[in-house]
């Protein structure tokens, strides 16, 4: 089984991929686009992508890529994220001039970073990639915000641990693929739709779920490319798409939504944890 993820060894996405299958053959990708391409055309059967962080919010690019590709969401993974400030052995806090990390990680450690005077904050493509940069270039005046595993992989020492703003820092990842991960039943569905530009249109769209007592766990809007001030609405529904109430709600929505697409119906992480807390998924 091959799983694509974005980042270097030691990236949080690598850890999430290991939660899908601990013995999987992992395919490291430079970008989110490359993850989709690796699943779309090979060599990977599945891809793991961050979609939302409990501190930093949504990873908008992956919402856009879900619409651009015909790869359904087949599962999700939640991963506690603990950030460390990693530097070359012998480096000191007082000697730091630059700190590198992914923009999401920087946002999650904002309060800590505000305490550092005269230090340049540099956004990069990856947390573990930032650790690799510091180690490869042997930068004694720089540090990276990344995982403890990234420090082990690249031989860096922690100058500070658990520097995220909140202890309950959790990233939710989606798993994309052409077939289910395993035989667990779906209990969550992600859809995207548009609404007419008329008064109460969004209220009417959301009411198809409310009237049937179908719980919405996430609502995200994104601009429609090429159509200024018009929006797509992404919704997570706490139900399988073929469950009667959800199926009727979607059929009702389709009657007046100019565009409606189901991006996946899959087992939620909550349901997986109830069955086997802490256990990785096993693909069939």
DSSP 8-state assignment for residue 51: E
Catalytic status, residue 217: no
Which listed residue (173, 193, 209, 233) is catalytic? Answer: 173
Catalytic status, residue 173: yes
Q: In what order do the strands lie in the sheet with 98-101?
A: 120-123, 98-101, 142-146, 84-87, 157-161
Specify which residues 2 forms β-bridges with. Answer: 25
Which listed residue (124, 127, 171, 189) is catalytic? Answer: 171
What CA–CA distance (Å, rounded) separates 284 from 281? 10
Question: In 3D, which of 274, 264, 246 has the Cα closest to residue 51?
Answer: 264
What CA–CA distance (Å, rounded) separates 31 from 52? 17
What CA–CA distance (Å, rounded) separates 12 from 214? 32
Structure tokens, 85: 């400030």
What CA–CA distance (Å, rounded) separates 276 from 57? 27
* Catalytically annotated residues: 171, 173
């Amino acid at each position: 089984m091959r799983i694509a993820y974005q980042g270097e060894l030691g990236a949080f996405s690598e850890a999430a991929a290991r939660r899908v299958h601990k013995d999987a053959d992992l395919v490291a990708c430079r970008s989110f686009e490359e993850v989709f391409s690796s699943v779309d055309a090979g060599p990977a059967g599945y891809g793991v992508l961050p979609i939302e962080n409990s501190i930093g919010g949504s990873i908008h690019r992956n919402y856009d890529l879900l619409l651009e590709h015909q790869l359904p969401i087949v599962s999700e993974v939640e991963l506690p994220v603990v950030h460390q400030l990693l530097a070359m052995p012998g480096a000191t806090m007082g000697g730091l001039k630059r700190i590198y990390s992914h923009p999401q990680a920087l946002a999650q450690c904002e309060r800590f970073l505000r305490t550092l005077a005269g230090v340049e904050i540099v956004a990069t493509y990856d947390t573990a990639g930032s650790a690799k940069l510091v180690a490869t270039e042997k930068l004694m005046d720089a540090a990276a915000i990344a995982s403890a595993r990234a420090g082990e992989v690249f031989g860096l020492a922690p100058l500070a641990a658990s520097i995220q703003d909140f202890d309950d820092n959790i990233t939710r990842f989606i798993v994309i693929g052409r077939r289910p991960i395993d035989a667990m039943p779906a209990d969550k569905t992600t859809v995207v739709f548009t609404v007419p530009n008329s008064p109460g249109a969004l209220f009417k769209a959301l009411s198809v779920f409310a009237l049937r007592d179908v719980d919405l766990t996430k609502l995200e809007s994104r601009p429609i490319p090429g159509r200024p001030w018009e929006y797509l609405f992404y919704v997570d529904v706490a139900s399988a798409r073929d469950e009667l109430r959800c199926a009727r709600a979607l059929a009702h929505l389709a009657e007046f939504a100019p565009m409606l697409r189901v991006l996946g119906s899959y087992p939620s992480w909550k349901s997986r944890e109830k069955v086997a807390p802490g256990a990785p998924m096993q693909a069939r």
